[in-house]
Amino acid sequence: MVVKRKLQVFVSSTFTDLLEERQAAVAAILKAGHIPAGMELFTAGDQSQMKTIERWIDESDLYMLILGARYGSIEPNSSLSYTELEYDYAISQGKPTFAVVITEDAIESKAKSGGTAHIETTDPQGLKRFRKKVLSNISSFFADPKDVKLCVYESLSDYATNQDLRGWIAADDVEDTKTLNEEIRRLREENATLTERLQNIERAAESKQRIRDAESNELLQILESIEIEIPAEITKNKKLDTRTLFDIAYANRDTLINGVSNGIGMSELSRFHYFNVLPKLQAHGLAENERVTGTKYRRSFLNKAGQKFFADLEKKFLLAKNKESQASPSSEPKPNGEGDTICGDEETRVRAPKKPGTKKKSAAKRKSAAKKTVLRS
């Protein structure tokens, strides 16, 4: 809804010599839908007259000056007319102003029709100085009341689009602030509730992640504590070797994800995975064993938990490796392993992963591990 503002216009002028011009200005302001204010519309209170006038100028949106052929009443302390003091105050406060100044021909016409009551006889120099000051700013001339009306219409038309001016708004045009305040209060409470709920969810997620990390680290330690003897026929160097369950599973994770079946003609490597590796992983919830549809064979494979477990570790290892590379860029990058093939066939050769920040155990130390498990094919 477009709210129409009514601008308050303070009209300043001498009084008795410009009655028609002031009436024309007030009528034009009202017809344009705005509010006129001037010294004839209020009475001075306990404050001095000038203080009262200044307060009205402050509360008005615009200041209009009608300057005729008289200088006006003099303020004793400054020896300036009240009209000039009003004008100077409006300018000093940055109040938007517009002025209409009587023409020389109109001054002569007023003198002929109204005598000396319509011309300045007391301080003509003060009027001349004030007139020069006003004309140094944007102003218009008038010869009769119609010119004053025209100036009002043109000026108010320009100022009406100025959104910096506050103006007055009818009470009916203002939305019910009580309803708005209630809505704002409700939204604030709702926002606070949602914020608290979100913080609780984040804290719970962080807590669950810490628990998962702790469980993952504990499971990693368990897998590293279980050692399996690898038959010589499936090692690269054809020698008996011993590695941890984690080393074997991590190095062969792609094969274990695809799964191994116990069908006729299975290779020694598949037999090793099926009977020696995957059952141990299944015991810790990382693998599953299922019947192959339409056959009498079974298939063992890493389940979703096992895939996620090794994928998370792979991500951690890569991040740690990148940090080490950045810390010592001159060093040669190391392969994903220590160079010892632990098991494989002609198509698959895998290496034991080197976990960043750890040292490889010797074979003797591995064989003396607390939870040593030795399995032969």
Structural domain harbouring 70: 8-173
Number of compact structural domains in the chain = 2
**Exposure string for 169-182, b = 16+ CB within 10 A, e = fewer:** eeeeeeeeeeeeee
Residue 208 in any domain: the answer is no
Tell me the C-alpha to C-alpha distance, in Å, between residue 59 and each of 46, 229, 299. Answer: 18, 96, 89
Residue 295 in any domain: the answer is yes
Residue 212 in any domain: the answer is no
**Exposure string for 138-159, b = 16+ CB within 10 A, e = fewer:** ebebbeebebbbebbeebbeeb
Which CATH number covers residue 24?
3.40.50.10140
Residue 301 in any domain: the answer is yes
240 & 157 share domain: no
Please enumerate in sequence order all residues whose Cβ is within 8 A of that of 226, keeping only pairs 6 or more positions apart, or say none. 244, 245, 246, 280, 371, 372, 373
pLDDT in tens, the chain (377 residues): 456 789 999 999 998 889 999 999 999 999 999 999 986 655 444 347 788 889 999 999 999 999 999 998 888 888 899 899 999 999 999 999 999 999 999 998 888 887 777 788 889 999 999 999 999 998 999 999 999 999 999 999 989 888 888 888 776 666 667 788 889 999 999 999 999 899 888 888 887 777 777 888 999 999 999 999 999 989 888 899 999 999 999 999 999 999 999 988 889 999 999 999 999 999 999 999 998 888 888 999 999 999 999 999 999 889 888 888 887 665 444 434 443 445 544 334 334 455 544 444 444 444 444 333 333 33
Residue 93 in any domain: the answer is yes
E strand segments, 2-94: 8-13, 35-38, 62-67, 74-75, 80-81
Residue 182 in any domain: the answer is no
